[in-house]
C-alpha cells in the first residue's frame, strides 16, 4: 500500500498493476485518506481510522469521479472531526442499513397485534388501503412529521369523516411508539408526536325511556329469532357490549357469587359484571329452553347460542332491525342499550363511579359522558326542596307592607 503525496497531476498517472485486482494509495497530504484504484479503472475515496475501541475501520467517502482531491481531503477532515467527537460514520452507516421499511415493520406489527389486539383486522385494512400505498417503500426514519400531516389532512380533504382520518393518525402513532419501545434501529423519535387529532362532534348519545324499553321488549318478544327476546333484555340489564354478551359461556357465570366474568373485554383485560335479580331469572329461562333442545345442542357451552347451530351468533342485525322498527325506534342502535343501562342507573341515584365499574371503563373520562344525567338527577333532587318552600315564600312576600312614602319639607 504505497503512501504518496497526491496531486491532481499524480492522480492521472495512478494505475492498478495487471497482476492485482486493486491497489490502495494513501495520501500523505491528508491523514487517513486513501484512494482505491481497480483494474477496471474505477476509483473510490476511503477514510481509514480507528474507532473508540481501537479497531481499524474503513469508511467509503465517495467515487473519485464525483469528488476531486481537494474535495475529498475536505470531506475526510470533516469526518475525522466527527470521529473525534464520538460519532463513528461506519457505525452510523451500518445502523441505516438495518432500518426497516414501513412495509417490513408493518408485517412485524401485524404478527404482534394478531395475538394481542382484538381489532387487528381493522388495522390490517387501514394499512392495506391507506398507509402501505403511501409509506410502504420508505424507511421508518424517512417518514417525517410533514408526511404525517399531509396524510391526515389529505384523508379529510377526500371527504372522510374526522374520525376516519383520526384512525390513521392513531394507528401510526401506536406503531411508531411500538417501534421506539422495541428499539428499532435508526428511529429516535415518533414523527406523529404533537400532530393534533381532528375534533370529532359525532359522539351520539341515545337513551331509551322506560316506555321505549317496554315497547322494545314487546317487539323482541315477537321476533322470529327466539333468542332475541333474551339477548336484548340482557344487554339492557348488564350494559354489556354486544360481542361480550354473544360470546358469554355458562362457565363464565358464578350464580352463587352472582358475578359474570368477561374473560376478554375491549381493553383486553377481564372484568366482572354483577348479575341482577332480573338477569338471574332470565338465565333460568334460557337454561330451561336449552334443556329442550335436541342433543348435542342442549349441552352447548354458550349462554345465548343460536338454536340451529349451538354456537354464538355471528350477527343478529336482521332480527334486531325488524324488532326496532316494529317498536317505532328505527334510529336506536344496539350500542344505545349500553347507554340506556347507564342512564337508568344514574337516574336512580347511582354514582358515576358505580357506572364506571360495571361498564368496565378504564378511564373515568369515558364515563364522564353521562355526567349531565347525574347533574339532571341532582337538580331534580334539589328542586324538591325548593318546591316544598315555594308557596310559603310567595305568601310571605304578599304579606310584607310597602314602606309609606314621606313628603320632603320643600315639596309643595
How far is the C-alpha of 268 from the C-alpha of 249, rounded, in Å?
A: 18
pLDDT score of 409: 37
pLDDT digits (tens, 9 = 90+) for 223-242: 999 999 999 999 999 999 99
pLDDT score of 386: 66
CA angle (83 as vertex; 81, 89 as ends), nearest 5: 115
pLDDT score of 116: 79
The strands making up 271-274's β-sheet, listed across from edge to edge, are: 253-254, 259-262, 271-274
pLDDT score of 406: 42
Alpha carbon 226 to chain centroid distance? Answer: 37
Which portions of the chain are predicted below pLDDT 50? 393, 395-396, 398, 400, 403-412
Amino acid at each position: 500500500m504505497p503512501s504518496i503525496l497526491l496531486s491532481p497531476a499524480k492522480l492521472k498517472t495512478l494505475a492498478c498493476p495487471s497482476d492485482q485486482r486493486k491497489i490502495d494509495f494513501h495520501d500523505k497530504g491528508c491523514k487517513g485518506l486513501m484512494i482505491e484504484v481497480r483494474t477496471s479503472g474505477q476509483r473510490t475515496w476511503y477514510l481509514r481510522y480507528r474507532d473508540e475501541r481501537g479497531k481499524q475501520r474503513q469508511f467509503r467517502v465517495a467515487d473519485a469521479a464525483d469528488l476531486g482531491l481537494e474535495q475529498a481531503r475536505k470531506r475526510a477532515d470533516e469526518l475525522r472531526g466527527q470521529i473525534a467527537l464520538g460519532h463513528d460514520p461506519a457505525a452510523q452507516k451500518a445502523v441505516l442499513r438495518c432500518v426497516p421499511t414501513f412495509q417490513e415493520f408493518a408485517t412485524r406489527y401485524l404478527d404482534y397485534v394478531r395475538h394481542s389486539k382484538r381489532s387487528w383486522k381493522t388495522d390490517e385494512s387501514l394499512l392495506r388501503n391507506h398507509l402501505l400505498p403511501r409509506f410502504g417503500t420508505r424507511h421508518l426514519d424517512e417518514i417525517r412529521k410533514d408526511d404525517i400531516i399531509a396524510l391526515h389532512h389529505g384523508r379529510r380533504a377526500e371527504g372522510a369523516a374526522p374520525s376516519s382520518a383520526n384512525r390513521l393518525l392513531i394507528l401510526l402513532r401506536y406503531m411508531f411508539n411500538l417501534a421506539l419501545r422495541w428499539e428499532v434501529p435508526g428511529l429516535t423519535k415518533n414523527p406523529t408526536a404533537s400532530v393534533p387529532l381532528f375534533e370529532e362532534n359525532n359522539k351520539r348519545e341515545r337513551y331509551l325511556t322506560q316506555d321505549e324499553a317496554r315497547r322494545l321488549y314487546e317487539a323482541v318478544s315477537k321476533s322470529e329469532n327466539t333468542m332475541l327476546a333474551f339477548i336484548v333484555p340482557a344487554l339492557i340489564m348488564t350494559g354489556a357490549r354486544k360481542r361480550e354478551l354473544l360470546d358469554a359461556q355458562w362457565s363464565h357465570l358464578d350464580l352463587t357469587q352472582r358475578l359474570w366474568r368477561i374473560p376478554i373485554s375491549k381493553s383486553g383485560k377481564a372484568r366482572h359484571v354483577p348479575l341482577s335479580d332480573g338477569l338471574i331469572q332470565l338465565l333460568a329461562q334460557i337454561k330451561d329452553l336449552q334443556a329442550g333442545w335436541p342433543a348435542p345442542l342442549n349441552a352447548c357451552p354458550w349462554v345465548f347460542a343460536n338454536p340451529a347451530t349451538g354456537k354464538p351468533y355471528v350477527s343478529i342485525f336482521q332480527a334486531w332491525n325488524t324488532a326496532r322498527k316494529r317498536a317505532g325506534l328505527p334510529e336506536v342502535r344496539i350500542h344505545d342499550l349500553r347507554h340506556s343501562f347507564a342512564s337508568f342507573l344514574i337516574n336512580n341515584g347511582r354514582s358515576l363511579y358505580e357506572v364506571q365499574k360495571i361498564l368496565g371503563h378504564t378511564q373515568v373520562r369515558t364515563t364522564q359522558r353521562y355526567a349531565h344525567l347525574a347533574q339532571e338527577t341532582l337538580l331534580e333532587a334539589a328542586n324538591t326542596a325548593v318546591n316544598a318552600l315555594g308557596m310559603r315564600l310567595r305568601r310571605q312576600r304578599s304579606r310584607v307592607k310597602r314602606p309609606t312614602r314621606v313628603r320632603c319639607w320643600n315639596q309643595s
